[in-house]
Structure 1
Amino acid sequence: MRRKLRVAAYAVCVRDGQILLARSPGLDGTPEWVLPGGGMEHGEDPYDTVRREVTEETGYRIRVTGLLGVDSLRLTGSRRFGRRTDHHGVRIVYSGEIVGGELRNEVGGSTDFAGWQDLDAVPGLNRVPLIDTALRLWRERPAAGRVE
């Protein structure tokens, strides 16, 4: 079984009762909302990763305002490229504030649309589970940086 570790950094950007999200085509082609962010490049600091990824996916520049926490996800047994994979994702979640840029969609990347969504509407969106975890971290601000 192939083992794969992916470390990524994401931002929770909330203003005026709305959260900034990006839309991904999804694994099966069904669009789903994701947090702006993504995988670290080798040698890159997670702080720089989240700033780069938010700009790539939304057009905005952010100021990181805090570390909300770290989430870990392990998926085993999925088949990708004909091989079983043991995937371990470590997701670093920051809070961020928009400081520049203009909202735009990513071209040629992992997302195809970016926009502000009402916080109250998030439960009705087709979304990845990390959004719920990140919003809990943002609301609760647990000292240990982890929600159960």
Structure 2
Amino acid sequence: MAAYAVCVRDGRILLARSPAPDGTPEWVLPGGGMEHGEDPYDTVRREVTEETGYRIRVTGLLGVDSRRHHFPGQGLTPATDHQALRILYEGEIVGGELRHEVNGSTDFAAWQELDAVPGLNRIRLVDVALRLWRERPADGRLEDRPLPQEMNEE
């Protein structure tokens, strides 16, 4: 389980840069995994501060992204069935100064123009979060989300 923030101001979104498994840098939302016993509300505030230097006020719950991934086994590594549950919040910057994370999961943080996001090398969650932020569905789910049986075919 993880919690992420969508922080938008002046037509720009706050993103962090993280290395993909192949080492290529990709843009991600500030956020990350919950510590044992931690509330997701506290997780998102802690993670944004760790990755960007900013303190945020959570202004709303945008939705939940749930994805199931099947990873085939290789050699002595068995196949795994993994589910990612990511809670997406809207956040407003209330303090701190932009800085980059040192020795963490990200190495750079920056404001990116909303119009430029489609051209960035980014993870899928950035697109999901922006759609939730723009559309604000009452149930926190996107209409074209695959049904559970379709998820097994990914």
- TM-score normalized by the length of structure 1: 0.93
- Alignment match, 2:149: none
- Structure 2: distance between partners of 1:37 and 1:96: 11
- SS of 1:70's equivalent in the other structure is strand
Task: Show structure 1 runs of 4+ deviating over 6 A.
Answer: none
Q: Does 1:59 align with 2:53?
A: yes
> Paired residues, what number?
142
Separation in structure 2 between the aligned mates of residue 117 and residue 84 of structure 1, nearest angstrom:
37
Q: Can you give the 5+ residue segments of structure 1 that lack an aligned partner in the other structure? A: 1-6
Which residue in 2 is equivalent to 1:120?
115
Alignment RMSD (CA, Å) = 1.2
Comparing 53-62 with 83-92, greater Cα deviation is found at 83-92
Q: Do residues 84 (structure 1) and 79 (structure 2) align?
A: yes
Does structure 1 residue 71 correspond to structure 2 residue 65? Answer: yes
| Unaligned ranges ≥5, structure 2 | 145-154
Q: Does 1:110 align with 2:105?
A: yes
For the residues of structure 2 that align with 1:126 and 1:75, how far apart are their CA atoms? 21
Distance apart, 1:72 and its partner CA? 0.4
Q: Between the two proteins, what is the percent identity of the paired residues?
A: 78
Q: Which has the higher strand share?
A: 1
Q: Call closer, same or farther: CA 1:78–1:8 in 2, change over 3 Å.
A: farther
Q: Are 1:141 and 2:136 counterparts?
A: yes
CA distance in 2, matches of 1:16, 1:77: 40
Greater Cα radius of gyration, structure 1 or 2 = 2
CA distance in 1, matches of 2:37, 2:133: 27
1:84, CA displacement in angstroms? Answer: 2.1
Greater shift, 76-85 or 101-110, is seen at 76-85
Identify the match of residue 100 of structure 1 among 95, 105, 110. Answer: 95
How far the C-alpha of 1:86 sits from its partner, in A, is 1.2
Q: Which amino acid aligns with 2:22?
A: D
Paired position in structure 1 for 2:39: 45
Q: Which residue of 2 aligns with 1:4?
A: none
Instruction: Provide the rounded CA distance (Å) in 2 between the counterparts of 1:78 and 1:31.
Output: 24
